[in-house]
Amino acid sequence: MGKNVATRDAYGEALLEVGAAYPEVVVLDADLSKSTKTAKFAERYPERFFNMGIAEQNLMGTAAGLAAAGKIPFASTFAIFATGRAFEQIRNSIAYPHLNVKIAATHAGLTVGEDGGSHQATEDIAIMRAIPNLTVLVPADGVETKKAVWAAVRHQGPVYLRLGRPAVPVIFGEDYDFALGRAAVLREGDKVALLATGIMVSEALKAADLLAGEGIEASVINVSTIKPLDVETVVTFARRCGAVVTAEEHNILGGLGGAVAEALAENCPVPMVRVGVRDVFGRSGTPEELLQAYGLTADSIAGAARAVVRRKG
Amino acid sequence: MDEETRKYLEEKARTLRRHIIRMLAEAGSGHPGGSLSAADIVTALYFRVLRLDPRNPAWPERDRFVLSKGHAAPALYAALAERGFFPVEDLWGLRKLSSHLQGHPDMRKTPGVEASTGSLGQGLAMANGMALAGKLDRKDYRVYALIGDGEMEEGEIWEAAMAASHYRLDNLTVFLDYNGLQIDGPTSQVMSTEPVEEKWRSFRWNVIPIDGHDFGQILTAIEQAREHLGQPTMIVARTIKGKGVSFMENAVGWHGNAPTREQAQKALAELGGEPVSE
């Protein structure tokens, strides 16, 4: 895999792999197949690809029906439309009957970029996380995306897979050991635990380098399965470090920060800072400009870590 | 249709209606009007049309029936019980905590229920998915769905309507339970849906208007749908909400109110058969 890869591109490639291995895999899109990268599957397996047009409710409902008849449907559109427009179809047609639909939503978060706030889903994790039966995955890079797609196919039940638009650094080797439901410890340190998800994982690793230069040894944990949350690992590192920073390309309400805060409040309350979008909408700009403007950077994570370490008793 | 079949179906439909009244009275809540208007269509499907095996509800070759207007669940449950998917006694547990019979159909709890429905507009899309899967697997099972006329106000219905004709789902037959009433009043007053037949025709469906309480017309329409290739079929079935119980017929108030025990006894007396003693 190259140096920088968009997770949506890795998804498109992974679909070809699982499509070859599982004849029951079918793919549905809502007129965005070139952007969600399902077009490659459509070209390779035209009879197993269904374009539903600009109709996300029917996209999810049809996927549910296909799953009820034994197929493994991947339903793709942008995160804002999947979780916003089709929320209730995901809840009632897919999750409530525990149907085997994989919702692969691309263009999540601020890094949609120039299309602006109307298209930047920064609440999708919160929405999906509140639905029973649904597994929520947020891969950090292209390698993890491919492994997450394979894990989603092998998992019996509905999955929400959150993917991004721009090319992002590849941080894992092909030997990266991904397991659904397990947070991955990428670096160990005792002063502060940096829990990150999605594109913020590479920023957290950079932040750990910055902090190490100042004598603050940080653990970095990739929480790619937001639900079910790996509470054991989260609590273990909160206890060990005594301070936690979460980082996500999502509203600080209800996403990774929310999930970790809930787990720690009940099991191991420690000083904590959430790095994320601070309950505001996004706007137009390049992805880099937006990440800078909204404080989703290694510098912000390092700053939060310094502040939270000072709060330790 | 011969006279014997007609008598058999009319008797079954009466049994289903009696079950519906008793279930709702026992539950103390639920939707009699739309259950009774759909009862003849459901009877025809379950006792003359659908290829099913009650001992093997997951049989891959079975026909599928999706009750998109899920609030008519009592009609579906009564048919499933009479077909032997579960004991008739289960019906009296409707809507109770210990029962598998939920207020709206739940495919994970009740044997024979093909789709979890009740949030209006969603069942037709699910039926589309089942029909697409049937085409993909070159199976000869057929998919049936029942939608309400109020339900047609949901946008997802028209998304699904477009997709079904786009994908030429001629293995899909849908009934419109056109009883003309919804919760807040006559459909024509709440939100005009006319011209209904023209709408479905313009969405490139094969449209067959019938009397939804005439078994001859129901079965003939299903046969015509089976023979019609290249398009899904919409059977626009004119029905009477509350059909079979005089004081419930065409009465808006009986959409979502269960009968009291006295009202239930009166309804059961009208429907004939043995009186129910409690």
pLDDT digits (tens, 9 = 90+) for A179-201: 999 999 999 999 999 999 999 99
Residue A38 C-alpha from the chain's centroid: 18
Q: Please give, rounded to a whole number of angstroms, the shortest distance from the CA of B131 to a CA of chain A.
A: 8
Mutate to test the interface with A, among B61, B65, B66, B116 (most CBs of A within 10 A): B116
Give the nearest partner residue to B156 out of A61, A70, A96, using CB atoms.
Answer: A61
Mutate to test the interface with A, among B67, B100, B126 (most CBs of A within 10 A): B126
Q: Look at B132 and A93 and tell me if their CB atoms are within 8 Å.
A: no
Sort out which chain B residues have CB atoms less than 8 A from A53's CB and list them: 159, 162-163, 166
Q: Quick one: pLDDT at residue B168?
A: 98
- The CA distance from A194 to B126, in Å, is 42
CATH second-level architecture of A184-310?
A: 3-Layer(aba) Sandwich (3.40)
The strand pairing partners of A136, in sequence order, are: A160, A227
- The CA distance from A225 to A229, in Å, is 6
Share of chain B above pLDDT 90, in %: 97
Q: Please give, rounded to a whole number of angstroms, the shortest distance from the CA of A137 to a CA of chain B.
A: 25
Q: Look at A70 and B133 and tell me if their CB atoms are within 8 Å.
A: yes
Q: Look at B134 and A69 and tell me if their CB atoms are within 8 Å.
A: yes
Residue with tokens 């709060």: A311
B278, pLDDT greater than 90: no
CB pairs under 8 A between A and B: 102
Q: Which residues of A touch B (CB under 8 A)?
A: 26, 47-48, 50, 52-53, 55, 57-58, 60-71, 73, 88-89, 92-93, 96-98
B126 interfacial to chain A (CB closer than 8 Å): yes
> Do residues A40 and A15 touch, judged by C-beta distance below 8 A?
yes
pLDDT digits (tens, 9 = 90+) for A106-153: 999 999 999 999 999 999 999 999 999 999 999 999 999 999 999 999
Q: Look at A97 and B106 and tell me if their CB atoms are within 8 Å.
A: yes
ipTM of the complex: 0.96
B277, pLDDT greater than 80: no
Q: Please give, rounded to a whole number of angstroms, the shortest distance from the CA of B164 to a CA of chain A.
A: 10
Q: Quick one: pLDDT at residue B91?
A: 98
Sort out which chain B residues have CB atoms less than 8 A from A73's CB and list them: 129
Q: How many angstroms separate the first and last alpha carbons of chain B?
A: 38
Sort out which chain B residues have CB atoms less than 8 A from A96's CB and list them: 106, 116
Sort out which chain B residues have CB atoms less than 8 A from A63's CB and list them: 129
B275, pLDDT greater than 90: no
Please state, as a whole number, how many other Cβ atoms lie within 10 Å of the Cβ of residue B275.
8
- Judged on CB neighbours under 10 Å (0-12, 13-18, 19+), A240 is middle
Sort out which chain A residues have CB atoms less than 8 A from B128's CB and list them: 58, 61-62, 65
Mutate to test the interface with A, among B67, B142, B159 (most CBs of A within 10 A): B159
Question: How high does pLDDT run on average in chain B?
Answer: 96
- The CA distance from A113 to A120, in Å, is 8
Q: Look at A61 and B122 and tell me if their CB atoms are within 8 Å.
A: yes
Question: Which ranges constitute the DSSP H helices of chain A?
Answer: 7-21, 33-36, 39-44, 56-68, 79-80, 87-88, 124-129, 142-154, 200-212, 231-241, 256-267, 287-293, 298-310
B130 interfacial to chain A (CB closer than 8 Å): yes
pLDDT digits (tens, 9 = 90+) for A41-80: 999 999 999 999 999 999 999 999 999 999 999 999 999 9
Pick the residue from chain A with its C-alpha nearest to B123.
A61
A33, pLDDT greater than 60: yes
Pick the residue from chain A with its C-alpha nearest to B116.
A97
Handedness of CA B183, B189, B190, B193 (dihedral sign): positive
Q: Look at A65 and B133 and tell me if their CB atoms are within 8 Å.
A: yes
- The CA distance from B76 to B106, in Å, is 11
- The CA distance from A88 to B117, in Å, is 12
- The CA distance from A259 to A253, in Å, is 9
The helix-helix angle for B155-166 and A56-68 (nearest 10°) equals: 60
Share of chain A above pLDDT 90, in %: 99
Amino acid identity of residue A308, one-letter, is V
Q: Quick one: pLDDT at residue A313?
A: 73
Mutate to test the interface with B, among A57, A58, A93 (most CBs of B within 10 A): A58
Sort out which chain B residues have CB atoms less than 8 A from A64's CB and list them: 115, 125-126, 129
Confidence category of residue B274, pLDDT binned at 50, 70, 90? low
> Do residues A28 and A63 touch, judged by C-beta distance below 8 A?
yes
Q: Quick one: pLDDT at residue B1?
A: 85
Q: Quick one: pLDDT at residue B53?
A: 97
B269, pLDDT greater than 70: yes
A161, pLDDT greater than 60: yes
Q: Look at A97 and B108 and tell me if their CB atoms are within 8 Å.
A: yes
Q: Look at A61 and B115 and tell me if their CB atoms are within 8 Å.
A: no
Domain ranges of chain A: 4-169, 184-310
Q: Quick one: pLDDT at residue A66?
A: 98
- Asked if domains A4-169 and A184-310 share a fold, the reply is yes
- The CA distance from B268 to B244, in Å, is 10
Please state, as a whole number, how many other Cβ atoms lie within 10 Å of the Cβ of residue B211.
14
Residue B178 C-alpha from the chain's centroid: 11
> Do residues A64 and A103 touch, judged by C-beta distance below 8 A?
no
B276, pLDDT greater than 80: no
**Superfamily of chain region A4-169:** Thiamin diphosphate (ThDP)-binding fold, Pyr/PP domains (3.40.50.970)
Q: Quick one: pLDDT at residue A2?
A: 83
Rg of chain B over Cα atoms, rounded to whole angstroms, equals: 17
Instruction: Report, as residue numbers or ranges, the catalytic residues of A.
Output: 56
Q: Look at A64 and B126 and tell me if their CB atoms are within 8 Å.
A: yes
In 3D, which of A241, A191, A237 has the Cα closest to residue A216? A191
Q: Look at A58 and B128 and tell me if their CB atoms are within 8 Å.
A: yes
> Do residues A193 and A282 touch, judged by C-beta distance below 8 A?
no
Q: Please give, rounded to a whole number of angstroms, the shortest distance from the CA of A81 to a CA of chain B.
A: 14
pLDDT digits (tens, 9 = 90+) for B106-154: 999 999 999 999 999 999 999 999 999 999 999 999 999 999 999 999 9
Where do the domains of chain B lie, and which CATH numbers do they carry? 3-271 (3.40.50.970)
Sort out which chain A residues have CB atoms less than 8 A from B130's CB and list them: 65-66, 68-69
CB < 8 Å from A in window 97-116 of B: 106-108, 114-116
A263, pLDDT greater than 80: yes
SS (H, E, C) A80-128: HHHHHHCHHHHHHHHHCCCCCCEEEEECECHHHHHHCHHHCECCHHHHH
Report helix, strand and coil shares of chain B as percent, to nearest 5: 45, 10, 40
B153 interfacial to chain A (CB closer than 8 Å): no
Mutate to test the interface with A, among B114, B156, B168, B203 (most CBs of A within 10 A): B156
- The CA distance from B27 to B44, in Å, is 26
